[in-house]
Amino acid sequence: MPFEKAPDQTARLTNRIRELEGRLSEADETLNAIRHGEIDAVVVVDRIGEHRIYTLESADRPYRVLIEQMQEGAVTLGEDGSVLYCNRRFAEMLRIAQERVVGQCLQQFVQAGDVAKLDDLLNQARIAGVRTELVLRAADGTDFSAYVSLSLLHDNGATLLCGVITDLTEQKLRLQELAEANSRLSNEIAERNRIEDALRHAQKMEALGQLTGGIAHDFNNMLQGVMSGITLARQRIAKSRSKEAPEFLDAALMAADRAAALTRRLLSFGRRQALNPKHVVLDSLFREVAELIRQTVGPGIETDLYLEEGCWPVSCDQNQFENALINLAINARDAMSPAGGRLTIGTNNLTLGEAHTRDWVDAEPGDYVRITVADTGTGMPPDVLAHVFEPFFTTKPDGHGTGLGLSQLYGFIRQSHGMVRIESEPGKGTAVHLYLPRSRDAPSDGPLPGAIEGQRQSTPIKVAASVLLVEDEATVRGFAAETLRELGYRVVEARNGIEGLKALQEELRPSKEGGLSLLVTDIGLPGGLNGRQLADAARDLDSHLPILLITGYAGDALEGHGRLGPGMEILSKPFKLDVLAKRVQAMIGQG
């Protein structure tokens, strides 16, 4: 009977409904547990009994844990900027509970002045990822700078924004501390520089005082000899005792020669002397100067030469270099007196690289010849060694040295693009090392081009040889011109470079009978054309014209011109008139 089964069927339906309600309740609890991270996995059984396991530990949970534990703030925003989710770190930044952040608009946590900036950021983030710095306001009213990065996120058709917020408070603090430290460091550097400048100025003034004091002492003594000699000579002439005058004039001339030597040493120290660098073969030079050195130091000192075979040639003023060697030998002799000792002079080739010259402020890498002059004398302590190149510094007794020897040596070597190093120790002697750059130029000594064929002297001179004398100092020009005329030369005088150039053009005209035999010009001429420039112009007009350059102080007039060409010589002021006469005669070919 079908109606008898109706009550059982109703009961079964009721139980089914209750079962479904229970499962719905369990589903709600499971969903809440999943939301709160209490369940790591869900097992689903389908109608045919197959188990499917969805493991939250391998998918959702690690990312949720990572986001919750990261040190950066993280948020999920709606399109209007409402906070749908925030992690623990972002809530800590705002000093508020997480649940009180969710549901609020992010604009609420932004400083009023940056709200418009955040709205622009939200609009831009809907198109592409954006990032900027904003000032956020915490729940307690304090403001802090934060770096906000927003990106677009699609979730089942909904448009969301996910963001990462970095608190810049510590970074700003560190930057401020760094800025303050930099400011303190800059102030300390400025103060140190000021103190160093003041110290350098004081040292410069002390050195200048020592220099001027030494010059004044020596120069006044020499000038006193000049003035006294001339005065006594004039008195003897006035008393008709002229035979006695030469004695006093000779004494005055000797004092003037000493003054001239002093100025040459000072110019050498200042690297302003007029040098005539040439290709010098050191083996030949040492063979010539060795005997002179032995005679200078005397028999009580044993002199040894150790010259490297195949020593490279150098470029320097040979006369100045020989003088430097003699002065070093004299210093060595004095350091070994009276007991005597051993003087050693050696040469060797060296190639200095970056590693060798890194600590040498005055050195350039390259090929050098090292000349070493060593003695077994008393040596020097460090405090003396530190001052040996200073002018007028000397450890010798009064009257036994001017204190200019090593300063002159240093200036000459530096002007020749070399270096000087000194090693010394009390009781163990001193070694002076001179480094001169290797010369790769061919020797340039010899007669003027074409002189062998007699291009300039192919026919006998029918008129007196002509000399163009260019000198701006009237007294010097007058004395020099008178001396040359006494020798029978025709002398054309000019007061500056412009007048000299006009005279050159006139005297070197093809139609000019006899032409010009020699140009004698001071280097330091006024009027915009110095003597070296005038010499170059003369060589353009006549490439074989001999030229004698005279200088008291050449300054920069010789810089950038390289070595002097064939047929060009230098005569330094002050000079004796008979020396001028001999040089002129030799250069014209009548000496």
- pLDDT attached to residue 53: 37
Rounded to an integer, what distance in angstroms lies between the CA atom of residue 74 and that of residue 166? 9
Write down the pLDDT at residue 462: 40
Determine the Cα–Cα distance for residues 335 and 401; give it in Å rounded to an integer. 13
The pLDDT value given to residue 395:
63
Does the domain made of 279-437 have the CATH classification 3.30.565.10?
yes
Residue 478 is predicted with a pLDDT of 87
Distances (CA, A) of 390 to 320, 321, 347, 410: 19, 20, 26, 10
In the sheet with 341-352, reading across from the earlier edge strand, the strands are 301-307, 341-352, 366-375, 429-437, 419-425
Total count of residues recorded for the chain: 591
DSSP structural state of residue 565: P
The pLDDT, as a whole number, for residue 410 is 82
DSSP 285-320: HHHHHHHHHHHHH-TTEEEEEEEPTTPPPEEE-HHH
pTM of the model: 0.46
What is the reported pLDDT for 413?
85
- Intervals of the chain under pLDDT 50: 1-5, 31, 34-35, 39-59, 271, 399-401, 445-463, 556-557, 560-562, 591
Who contacts 534 (Cβ-Cβ below 8 Å, separation ≥6)? 470, 497, 500, 501, 504, 519, 521, 525
Q: 52: Cβ–Cβ under 8 A, 6 or more apart, which residues?
A: 43, 44, 45, 46
The pLDDT of residue 48 is: 37
Residue 371: strand pairing partners: 347, 434
pLDDT score at 227: 79
Cα separation, 363 vs 562, in Å, equals 20
Position 518 scores a pLDDT of 93
70-167 CATH fold: Beta-Lactamase (3.30.450)
Domain 466-588 listed as CATH 3.30.70.360: no
Q: In the structure encoding, which two tokens stand for residue 537, read together? A: 């112009």
